[in-house]
Amino acid sequence: MKRRDFIRKTAGATIASTTALVFGNLNILFALPQSGPENGPFDMVAIMNGEPDVMFDMAIESLGGMEAFVKEGQTVVVKPNIGWDVIPERAANTNPQLVKRIIEHCYNAGASEVYVFDNTCDEWANCYKNSAIEPIAKEAGAKVVPGNLEKYYRPVEIPDGVTLKSAKVHELILDSDVFINVPVLKDHMATDLTIAMKNLMGVIWDRRWWHKNNLHQCIADFTTYCKPDLNVIDAYRVMMENGPRGVSEKDVVTFKTQIISSDIVAADAAAAKVFGTDPEDITYITQAAGMGVGTYQLDTLNINRIKL
């Protein structure tokens, strides 16, 4: 437990100091109209022009801190996109700095354990390593768990699903107290974009069945069952073309943006707009909204917009 305490304390100290740095030196928060928890509660935070970890510090602060989502002693599963065996600069996987800071916040809020996994597309051990997520998550004290074997997956019923009536879901999703979904915003050849809803394809076992049986509907159906407590969308580096794997770093544009919401549909809608796509053009977003999972009418939400 000593190591974890150490990590918790150092994480806390870093978070406190960076926040102080931003508050103290830039005084930016006070300059913005909707910048503190006093204008909340917010349905969503959108933040831009910062480093991934700094943006997350401020965004989660305005949602009441990680304590609002993680209670003392709870177990947390953080699910980034680690789908591809490529380096972070290719932006095919979630930004490792962001993953690290989320883990630190979780421990700081009193989490008893934080787990990280993905059911990858490329060979999993190389994805974990070369995405830089495994080493950095371990550094932050999280347990990095495989998602490549069927034994980790348990069947569940999806009563509200139209096409998808059941799925095999990773045990960590089923057993952890808190689920934080950390997708990366990317172009996607088959589903236009892959963001938070599509990222959930990494917590289930048989993706091929989804592909074979109306992919958009399956993605929407699964969100009626699986609702992350928090969706943190990494749009720091954004793959604009050749997604979801990408061909080179030339596919990537640096947006330095982050979107955080508990409403997975709203989060996807906002990210789609950042990308330059109308959320109404993305079938699974409208389908999920139609099933009452969330809303893509962003003007009905109380959004905290922070520009650094």
Partner 1 sequence: MVFKWLKKIRVFISLAFFLAISYLSIDYASTFSSSLTNSILYFQFLPSWIKFMNLMSFMATGYLVVLILTLLFGRVYCSFLCPLGTLQDLFHFISNRSGKRKSRKFSGPNNWVRYLFLTAPILLFVAGNILLLNLLDPYSNFSRILSNLVRPLYYGINNVVVDILEKWDIYAIKPVELKSVSLYAIGYSVFMLGLVAWMAFQRGRLFCNTVCPAGTFLGIISRLSLFRIRLDESLCNSCGICGNSCKSDCIDTLTKKVDFSRCVGCLNCLYVCPEGGVKFGLTQYKASPAPAKPEFNHQRRHFLKYSAFIPAVIAFLSKRSYSEGLNNGKIPVEKEYPVTPPGSVSIRHFINNCTACHLCVSACPTRVLQPAFLQYGLAGILQPTMDYNISFCNFECTVCSEICPTGAIKPIDLTVKKVTQLGIAKFIKENCVVYIDETDCGACSEHCPTKAVVMVYYKDKITIPEVTEEICIGCGACEYACPTDPKSIYVDGNIFHKQAEKPTEKSIGDTIQPADDFPF
> Minimum distance from CB of 215 to partner 1 (Å)?
5
Other CB atoms within a 10 A radius of the CB of residue 217 amount to: 19
CA 298 to centroid of chain Cα atoms: 19
Query: Contacts with partner 1 in 168-197 (CB under 8 A)?
Result: 188-191
Query: Contacts with partner 1 in 69-88 (CB under 8 A)?
Result: 85-86
Q: Which of 17, 39, 126, 302 binds partner 1 (CB under 8 A)?
A: 126
Q: Which of 51, 160, 177, 241 binds partner 1 (CB under 8 A)?
A: 241
Distance, in Å, from the CA atom of 290 to the CA atom of 223, rounded to the nearest integer, reads 12
Q: Which is nearer to partner 1, 15 or 202 (CB)?
A: 202
Distance, in Å, from the CA atom of 214 to the CA atom of 243, rounded to the nearest integer, reads 20
- When asked if residue 247 is in the footprint of partner 1 (CB under 8 A), the reply is yes
- When asked if residue 145 is in the footprint of partner 1 (CB under 8 A), the reply is yes
Distance, in Å, from the CA atom of 137 to the CA atom of 143, rounded to the nearest integer, reads 7
- When asked if residue 51 is in the footprint of partner 1 (CB under 8 A), the reply is no
Is residue 111 within 8 A of residue 76, CB to CB? The reply is yes
Q: Which of 148, 160, 177, 308 binds partner 1 (CB under 8 A)?
A: 148
> Minimum distance from CB of 38 to partner 1 (Å)?
21
Q: Which is nearer to partner 1, 214 or 224 (CB)?
A: 214
Binding region for partner 1 (CB under 8 A) out of 9-17, 30-38, 59-67, 145-153 = 145-153
Q: Which of 67, 123, 139, 175 binds partner 1 (CB under 8 A)?
A: 123
- Is residue 140 exposed (0-12), middle (13-18) or buried (19+ Cβ within 10 Å)? buried
Cβ density class 94-110: b for 16+ within 10 Å, e for less: bbbbbbbbbbbbbbbbe
